[in-house]
Amino acid sequence: MLISCGYTIAFSAERATPMIALLSIRPERRRDLRCPHRISLAPDVPRFDFVDGFGNVCTRLTVPAGGIELSCDFVVEDSGKPEPVTLDANEHPIERLPDEVLPFLLPSRYCESDLLGKTAWDLFGHIEPGWTRVQEIVDFTHGRIAFGYEDANRYRTAMGAFDQRVGVCRDYAHLAIALCRAMNIPARYCTGYLGDIGIAPVDLPMDFSAWIEVWLGDRWHTFDPRHNRRRIGRVLMAVGRDAADAALTTAFGPVALRNFEVRCEETVSARARVAA
């Protein structure tokens, strides 16, 4: 199947302000592109890309005085199948984990796994290790938090989500990550596109989504504490220890968001979408 993705995001600024944007898809999905993927800037100021320590494609630019609009439209091919369930995916002792996954065991800005350690072991210590335990953590998180855009708070941490029991997709992700790490299961934060594909249309504005990946067996596996179901057509943009590492944009000075639109839907053909 083919999925049409894109966004239009605009900022205003009183003075020239440097910015880093993580608005490109991950390099491992580039082979699935069926048309060019390029961020358009208006005005077209200089920019260049680099790859950060988590493998994300980052774009450096300077927002000019007055503001800027960033936009992108592309088509990506997807299997059209729901994300797999791997019930036999097992946990590993820390001494057998690959070096590159060890940072995803540590507490981070939004995921205070050290503060949630006793709670996690009390809740999940008796659960069979591996996929079953992670799914129990995801089930718990899904039931613990009530979703509401009105409850969005960029300063809320995993501990805050646990106590306040409200939040948006990033709060679900942070709490599940912190609980996994407290159980010595590497977990990382993910953000990207997730359209209403294979489900009834959702009567909410389209937005980027946050979910998690957990290291079991010999690879990362996707779990979604917000929706708690295997989905079709997820397109990954960025990963990190938490939302601080995978922020869509980071401005080094005052800017104001004045427009935010996200697009993600199944399409008939790449040629039809590009011509539209």
Model pLDDT for residues 139-172, shown as the tens digit of each residue: 999 999 999 999 999 999 999 999 999 999 999 9
Q: What integer is the mean pLDDT of 52-66? A: 98
Residue 217 CA to residue 100 CA, distance in Å, equals 14
Task: Read off φ and ψ for residue 158, nearest 5 degrees.
Answer: -60, -45
- The confidence score (pLDDT) of residue 271 equals 46
Distances (CA, A) of 246 to 51, 130, 165: 12, 26, 23
All residues at 6 or more sequence positions from 66 whose CB lies less than 8 Å from its CB, including other chains: 12, 13
Residue 276 has pLDDT above 90, yes or no: no
Asked if 103 contacts 64 with a C-beta cutoff of 8 angstroms, the reply is no
pLDDT per residue as tens digits for the range 90-99: 999 999 999 9
Tokens of 178: 């912190």
pTM (predicted TM-score):
0.94
Closest CA to 192 of 36, 72, 101: 72
Q: What is the residue type of 214? A: V
Question: How many Cβ atoms from other residues are within 10 Å of residue 4's Cβ?
Answer: 24
